[in-house]
Chains A and B, each alone.
Chain A
Amino acid sequence: MGIERQEALEALNDVAQIARRVRQSRIYQLSSLLMVMWGALVMAGNIGSSLWPRSAGFLWLGVHVTGIAASFALGAVSYSRTGTRTFDSRMFVAFLLFIAFGIFSCWLGNFNNPRQIGTFWAIYFMLVYTVAGLWVGLAYVAIGLSITALTLIGYFFAGEWFEPWMAVVNGGGLILGGLWMRRS
């Protein structure tokens, strides 16, 4: 069986394209569970902040500590099943640096009300999703930009319903985004 250069090129192109799709599909599968888990935590954080505004700082600290611990646990389970790490010590350090820069920005920007702080953190996290999406898949970009837009709508128009709004669009958005990625 003999074939020409063009047919060989097309066949190799198909192979490369499928390999790319498999990699992306695996990233989506593995990260969707993390996204759903963070979505549930963010939803709980926003509902908690709305019900107990004075304890919001502690609540969010609890959300982040729980989220990091659960991310490590999910990472360990996924590693034992698939040999792929979804959350390792390098990501943990990156996460700490990201949080530290966020705290510094809040201090520098003199954000002094929960609405500003809530909007900043949501948009800041979604910026990471959007930028990461440029490399790992457009689903991340779509989720990042949609939640950013909905957060800004909430900031300007949700009034005293800002925190419930954020529970739905930020927490709910991540949960729906994670489920959508699982199917794609």
Chain B
Amino acid sequence: MAELDEIIHQPLRLKIMAALNALPPAVAGLEFSRLKKLTGATDGNLGAHIETLARAGYVTLEKAFLGKKPQTTVTATAAGRGAFARHVAMLQEIIAASALRPE
């Protein structure tokens, strides 16, 4: 059995990747403020975990200004989407395997 992806498995990072993967392909990414609302995380915590995902090459950050207001958009990369899909498949495998295992 392959190993679980430790970067994605952390609960908040899993939520971030799940949110980005739930977007239709035509939508680029999610703004930081929206991700914060969706995950229920604090600014600092969310920022730190996004940085970890970015360092792993799973997300990219795009900073822009909306008028005078700074806006950061987080987008899942192809590598990030692939890693997330593999991670979810692995979780499903663990559940399926445990169902077959005798108690």
Chain A positions within 8 Å of B, measured between CB atoms, are: 1-5, 8-9, 11-12, 14-15, 18-19, 21-23, 25-26, 81-84
Contacts of B2-23 to chain A: CB distance below 8 A: 3-4, 6, 9, 11, 14-15, 18-19, 21-23
Interchain nearest-CB distance for B38 vs A (Å): 5
> Does B56 count as interface, using CB distance less than 8 angstroms?
no
Per CB-CB distance, the 6 closest pairs between chain A and chain B, nearest first, are A83-B26, A5-B98, A22-B22, A19-B22, A18-B18, A8-B94
Interface residues of A: mostly helix, strand, loop or mixed?
helix
Interface residues of B: mostly helix, strand, loop or mixed?
helix
With A1-B9, A3-B4, A11-B9: A18-B92 Cβ-Cβ less than 8 Å: no
Is A23 in contact with B25, judged by CB distance below 8 angstroms? no
Is A18 in contact with B24, judged by CB distance below 8 angstroms? no
| Interface residue from A2, A8, A14, A23 paired with B22 (Cβ < 8 Å) | A23
Chain B positions within 8 Å of A, measured between CB atoms, are: 3-4, 6, 9, 11, 14-15, 18-19, 21-27, 30, 34, 37-39, 88, 91-92, 94-95, 98-99
Assembly CA distance A1 to B38 (angstroms): 27
Is A15 in contact with B26, judged by CB distance below 8 angstroms? no
Interchain nearest-CB distance for A5 vs B (Å): 4
Assembly CA distance A9 to B30 (angstroms): 26
Nearest B residue to A24 via CB reads B38
Which residues of chain A are within 8 angstroms of B25 by Cβ–Cβ distance? 83
Is B22 in contact with A12, judged by CB distance below 8 angstroms? no
